[in-house]
Structure 1
Amino acid sequence: MGFESLPEGCIATILSRTTPLDTCILSLVSRTFYSASESDAVWASFLPSDYVSIFFRSVSHSSFLSTSPSPSNKSIYITLSQSPIIIDHATKSFQLERKSGKKCYMLGARALAIVWGDTPNYWNWKTLPDSRFPEVAELLDVCWLEIRGVINTTSLSPNTHYAAYFVFKMIDPEGFLRYPVELALEISGGQSTTKKVCLDPNIDGRSVTSRLQGLQRPNMKSNGWLEIEIGEFFNSGLEDDEVQMSVLETKGGNWKNGLVIEGIEVRPKEAN
Structure 2
Amino acid sequence: MCELYQFTSEHRTVDPEILFNSHTSIEAEGIEFWPLEKVEHKDEKQPISDSDANWEEMLPTDYEDILKLSKNRIQWTTKKQAYSIMSKGFLIRDGKKRSIWFFLDKNGKKCHMLSASATATWDLYSYKLTLPESRFGEAFQCIFRIPNIISNIQSHLVSPQTTYACYLVYKLPKDQSEFQAPILVEDQGDFNSNRHRYIFLVSPQTPVIRPKADQNTHNPLNKPKFKGLPQERNDGWMEVQIWEFLAATTTETIPACLALGTRGDKMLSGLIIEGVEFRPI
One-letter code aligned to 2:91: I
In the alignment, does 2:150 pair up with 1:148? yes
Q: Tell me by how many angstroms 1:175 deviates.
A: 4.2
Instruction: Find the aligned partners of 1:216 and 1:152 in 2 and give their Cα distance.
Output: 25
Contact 1:185–1:243 (8 Å) recurs in 2: no
In the alignment, does 2:60 pair up with 1:73? no
Contact 1:144–1:250 (8 Å) recurs in 2: no
Q: Tell me by how many angstroms 1:126 deviates.
A: 1.3
Instruction: Specify every segment of 5 or more residues in structure 1 that has no aligned partner in the other structure, as ranges.
Output: 1-20, 28-36, 66-70, 206-213
In the alignment, does 2:46 pair up with 1:25? yes
SS at the partner of 2:137? coil
Contact 2:164–2:246 (8 Å) recurs in 1: yes
Structure 1 pair 190–44 and aligned structure 2 pair: CA distance change class (3 A)? farther
Structure 1 pair 102–189 and aligned structure 2 pair: CA distance change class (3 A)? farther
2:222 is aligned to none
1:95 is aligned to 103
Structure 1 pair 134–192 and aligned structure 2 pair: CA distance change class (3 A)? farther
TM-score (norm 2): 0.65
Structure 1 pair 227–235 and aligned structure 2 pair: CA distance change class (3 A)? same
1:86 is aligned to 91
Instruction: Find the aligned partners of 2:151 and 2:80 in 1 and give their Cα distance.
Output: 32
Q: Tell me by how many angstroms 1:222 deviates.
A: 2.0
Aligned length: 217
After TM superposition, list the pairs within 5 Å mapping 1:72-221 onto structure 2: 72-81=78-87, 83-88=88-93, 91-97=99-105, 99-116=106-123, 119=124, 122-139=125-142, 141-143=143-145, 145-171=147-173, 172-173=175-176, 175-177=178-180, 180-185=182-187, 193-201=195-203, 216-221=228-233
Structure 1 pair 216–188 and aligned structure 2 pair: CA distance change class (3 A)? closer
Contact 2:180–2:204 (8 Å) recurs in 1: no
Structure 1 pair 158–238 and aligned structure 2 pair: CA distance change class (3 A)? same
Instruction: Find the aligned partners of 1:252 and 1:215 in 2 and give their Cα distance.
Output: 24
After TM superposition, list the pairs within 5 Å mapping 1:43-58 onto structure 2: 43-58=55-70
SS at the partner of 1:57? coil
Instruction: Specify every segment of 5 or more residues in structure 2 that has no aligned partner in the other structure, as ranges.
Output: 1-42, 208-225
Instruction: Find the aligned partners of 1:56 and 1:182 in 2 and give their Cα distance.
Output: 39
Q: Tell me by how many angstroms 1:168 deviates.
A: 0.4
Q: Tell me by how many angstroms 1:112 deviates.
A: 1.2
Q: Tell me by how many angstroms 1:185 deviates.
A: 4.9
The two structures, once aligned, show a CA RMSD in angstroms of 3.3
Instruction: Find the aligned partners of 2:179 and 2:188 in 1 and give their Cα distance.
Output: 24
SS at the partner of 2:148? strand
Instruction: Find the aligned partners of 1:132 and 1:188 in 2 and give their Cα distance.
Output: 31
Q: Tell me by how many angstroms 1:125 deviates.
A: 1.1
Structure with the larger helix share: 1
Q: Tell me by how many angstroms 1:56 deviates.
A: 2.6
2:216 is aligned to none
Contact 1:163–1:232 (8 Å) recurs in 2: yes
Contact 2:188–2:259 (8 Å) recurs in 1: no
Instruction: Find the aligned partners of 2:146 and 2:272 in 1 and give their Cα distance.
Output: 15
SS at the partner of 1:64? coil
2:277 is aligned to 265
Contact 1:184–1:230 (8 Å) recurs in 2: no
SS at the partner of 1:182? strand
Structure 1 pair 131–56 and aligned structure 2 pair: CA distance change class (3 A)? same
SS at the partner of 2:102? strand
1:256 is aligned to 268
Instruction: Find the aligned partners of 1:54 and 1:200 in 2 and give their Cα distance.
Output: 36
SS at the partner of 2:270? strand
1:222 is aligned to 234
Contact 2:147–2:260 (8 Å) recurs in 1: yes
Instruction: Find the aligned partners of 2:146 and 2:71 in 1 and give their Cα distance.
Output: 35
SS at the partner of 2:234? coil
One-letter code aligned to 2:128: W
Instruction: Find the aligned partners of 1:237 and 1:134 in 2 and give their Cα distance.
Output: 33
One-letter code aligned to 1:59: K
